[in-house]
Amino acid sequence: MEQRLNMQQLEPKAYEAMYGLERYVRSSSIPKTLLELIKIRASQLNGCAYCIDMHTKDARHYGETEQRIYALNAWRETPFFTPEERAALALTEAVTLVAETHVPDDVYEEAAKVFEPNLLAQIIMAIVTINAWNRIAVTMRAVPGSYKPGAFD
């Protein structure tokens, strides 16, 4: 696999704007491990190998367990995730697959029940941001493997 284009190099203003969203998300009140679970799950759904590699490494860096990372694509079938994490993961899937789901009321209401409004808004922005990154990385054929965990600390 070979990378097609380097967005950061070719369009630095666009990349910087996108990175501004990433800085916002990373400075939000979302717990680090929950943020990485959101990013991994969206990346799994979008088939973004680069982002899966990056965010599984960061999840481990922030203390996430191998068991939960491995079970993430079947989170509904496990007892490993809290009600808050389940609500965030369901919302992540609904927003990521928005053309199919249109974010059902029950999914949104469950998230609204377990997260205060500001944190819910931050989670939605995190989901939107990772979906944008996935689309960039998949289109550019970003090559996984070189990311070092904690690069954004």
pLDDT digits (tens, 9 = 90+) for 10-31: 999 999 999 999 999 999 999 9
Q: At what angle do helices 117-140 and 12-26 cross, to 10 degrees?
A: 140
Cβ partners under 8 Å of residue 67, min gap 6: 80
Tens of pLDDT, residues 114-147: 999 999 999 999 999 999 999 999 999 999 988 9
Phi-psi category of 144—alpha, beta or left, where left has phi over 0 and alpha has psi -120 to 50? beta
Q: CATH code for 13-140? A: 1.20.1290.10
This prediction has a pTM of 0.95
Q: Which tokens is 150 given? A: 């904690």
